[in-house]
Structure 1
Amino acid sequence: MTAPSPAQITAAPEARRLAAMLFGIGTLHFLAPKPFDSIVPAELPGSARFYTYASGVGELATGALLASPRTRRLGALAAVALFISVFPANVNMVRLWWNKPWPLRLGAIARLPLQIPMITTALKVYRHS
């Protein structure tokens, strides 16, 4: 077994933060699914609950991959794919919340650019794992 490189050591805290975030959000998909159901685009076939649970499983699995140094690189790629795949739900949330009070609308809009640092962090973890 070889010692981790400095880049791997630097990427580890970011990977752990992403894993913790994904574990938390993934768990919420099962404990409180209704808010997630409400932002699933109606244009998707099947039930919203299916997509809520499927994304919850994806988030938990991706978090588990990121948590282990042996699977971190694969987990980082999975995180990039996951963050891109849930973007349509975030766009749909803006559409659905457009007529809500401005703080809620602003929160929904703010989620869109927040995907960018999540994706770039996952890419950084991928490159340095």
Structure 2
Amino acid sequence: MSRSERSPLLLAGLLATAGIAHFAAPRPFDATIPAALPGPPRTWTYASGVAELALAAGLALPRTRRTAALATAAFFVGVFPANVKMAADWRHRPARQKAAAFGRLPLQVPLVLWARGVARNAGGRS
């Protein structure tokens, strides 16, 4: 399996793992939901978990890979406010937790670029 074939599957694995985590341990995700969103945070936690699982499935299938990769890039941009909220909420926590929260912010850029690269390498399929 070449690197270009492995890359979308690694991204799918990352999303599937995150999606499962939203259901297995939702409380930490609930805390990152911006208060401006309507409804209970748990609804958004579960919705984002479902979205991650759906994106993972789409990335795993060559026929839907391009569309799923573009949606994944948009998803990573869309969840950025939750990461900002987490960093703001954790600014007074111990150094390790604070570093993890603030470290997530610049991590969104390579994730978006990774998803865009998967879309580009998928060609016109989907």
TM range (shorter): over 0.9
Identity fraction in percent? 48
Equivalent AA in structure 2 for residue 40 of structure 1: I
Q: Does 1:33 align with 2:33?
A: no
- Pairing partner for 2:81 from 74, 81, 88: 88
For residue 11 of structure 1, report the CA deviation from its aligned partner: 2.6
Unaligned 5+ runs, structure 2: none
Q: How far, CA to CA, are the matches of 2:36 and 2:72 in structure 1?
A: 24
Moved more, 39-48 or 92-101: 39-48
Report the counterpart of residue 45 of structure 1 in structure 2: 38
Partner of 2:9: 16
The aligned counterpart of 2:99 is 106
In structure 1, give the amino acid aligned to 2:7.
Answer: E
CA-atom RMSD, angstroms?
0.9
Larger Rg: 1
In the alignment, what sits opposite 1:69?
62
Q: Secondary structure at the match of 1:15?
A: helix
Provide the rounded CA distance (Å) in 2 between the counterparts of 1:105 and 1:10.
Answer: 34
Cα offset, 1:44, TM superposition: 1.4
Q: SS at the partner of 1:41?
A: coil
Contact kept, 8 Å, 1:11 with 1:124, in 2: the verdict is no
Gaps of 5+ in 1: 1-8
What's the TM-score, normalizing by structure 1?
0.91
